[in-house]
Structure 1
Amino acid sequence: MLQRTEATPNKDSLKFKPSGKQVMENGGTVEFLTKKESLNSPLASTLFNIQGVQSVFFGPDFISITKDEDQPWQLMKPDIYSSIMDFFSTGKPILIEGGYQSPKDTIVLETDSEEVAMIKELLDTRIRPTIQEDGGDIEYCGFENGIVKLKLRGACRTCDSSVITLKNGIENMMMHYIPEIKGVEQVLDEMEELGNKEFKKLESKLEKKAV
């Protein structure tokens, strides 16, 4: 099975594309930020065993891997290629049955206002495809007082240019098509607020206490 890699705007993230293989069905995406989360996926779990792997993101036809900044790609790539090739040769599903739910953040609900419905449509048709080209995804988290709340995922999550992407790209586009929007705000989860390295230290301490 041929594989190729594609660079992303994030120097610590790469897209791995297994030729002729669909990674996620129906255009779905899923992200694993810790080894514990990866237990829902045999492939993600194997990738987390490779030194330096920080997070794993499955897109429709690609796998984005984000590494620790001090770990060189040239040492990691052979193990990543091998793990992906070995997994797809088994023919097993990439996710354990029942361990994943398709994203529902952009499904238009009956209770959604006209503005929210337009935001979701714009995300799905114009913004999400572009973000996925960069090895990531974007999640709709709410619309309040004219502010759209969004969460970046995959390679875009830890990218240095993520704020520029949100403000100069996504915000400008949304404000152009939907005048009611006053701005875009990035939603950070607990891990991002602590910082990846601090989170790893905290996780290690908790695991030691559990033992």
Structure 2
Amino acid sequence: MFIQTETTPNPATLKFLPGQAVMDVGTADFPSAEAAASSPLARRIFATGGVSGVFLGNDFVTVTKDAGVSWDHVKPAILGAIMEHYQSGAPVIEGAAAAAHAAHDGPDGDIVRQIKELLDTRVRPAVAQDGGDITFHGFDRGVVYLHMKGACAGCPSSTLTLKMGIENLLRHYIPEVTEVRPVAA
């Protein structure tokens, strides 16, 4: 097995490409070792030490390192953990994966459907290239609330991505959208 790595716009996060499917459907975000209880793969990666977050995408794993740790120090152990996981035959996630977007009931249902469709077709594929994901969290009085995951969480360029990219896109196609704001996990 040959695992490629790619840098992301977030210097604390690397994207690992194992050359095979990671998640069959959706994504999974593990911002801490405790949150990784349902993922044997994420647990292995956290066990290497120096890791502060693991994000699983369709064909990639993004890993965020602790602030005081060098990639030269933790990258070989992470590569080994990913390789061991695939050789073990264990599942990536135990149980069903959660839905990507938050549910939204109410009078703005049509607007929310349009927002989710634009996110799924235009935004999420581009963000996945950088090792992250952005999902819908809510819509209230013209403000769209989005959750940033993986390499996007804590990325220095995430505010610019939200304001200049996603906000402009949504406002162009959906006049009811006035602003986009990030939400914490």
Quickly name the TM-score band, shorter chain normalised: over 0.9
Q: Shift in Å at residue 104 of structure 1?
A: 4.4
| Matching residue within 71, 74, 88 for 1:73 | 71
What is the CA–CA distance in structure 1 between the aligned matches of 2:166 and 2:99, rounded to whole Å?
20
User: Higher relative CO (CA 8 A, sep ≥ 6), structure 1 or 2?
Assistant: 2
What stretches of structure 2 of length at least 5 have no aligned partner?
Answer: none
**1:165 and 2:164 are equivalent in the alignment:** no
1:8–1:14 CA contact under 8 A, matched in 2: yes
State the match for 1:177 in structure 2.
173
State the match for 2:15 in structure 1.
15
SS for the counterpart of 2:54 is: strand
1:34–1:54 CA contact under 8 A, matched in 2: yes
What stretches of structure 1 of length at least 5 have no aligned partner?
Answer: 190-211
Provide the identity percentage.
44
State the match for 1:2 in structure 2.
2
What is the CA–CA distance in structure 1 between the aligned matches of 2:117 and 2:97, rounded to whole Å?
20
More deviation in 35-44 or 106-115? 106-115
Name the aligned partner's letter for residue 157 of structure 2.
Answer: S
State the match for 1:147 in structure 2.
143
Name the aligned partner's letter for residue 17 of structure 2.
Answer: K
Greater share of helix residues, 1 or 2?
A: 1
2:102–2:137 CA contact under 8 A, matched in 1: no
State the match for 1:40 in structure 2.
38
SS for the counterpart of 1:186 is: strand
What is the CA–CA distance in structure 1 between the aligned matches of 2:68 and 2:90, rounded to whole Å?
33
Give the number of aligned pairs. Answer: 185
What is the CA–CA distance in structure 2 between the aligned matches of 1:44 and 1:111, rounded to whole Å?
39
What is the CA–CA distance in structure 1 between the aligned matches of 2:40 and 2:184, rounded to whole Å?
27
1:120–1:140 CA contact under 8 A, matched in 2: yes
Q: Root-mean-square deviation (CA), in Å?
A: 1.7
Cα deviation, 1:121-168, whole Å, max 9, x if unaligned, reads 001100111111111111101111111111101110011111111001
Q: Shift in Å at residue 117 of structure 1?
A: 1.2
Q: Shift in Å at residue 105 of structure 1?
A: 1.4
TM (norm. structure 1) is 0.83
What is the CA–CA distance in structure 1 between the aligned matches of 2:180 and 2:166, rounded to whole Å?
8
Structure with max Cα Rg? 1
Cα deviation, 1:62-112, whole Å, max 9, x if unaligned, reads 00000112210011111011111111012221112x2x4332417787975
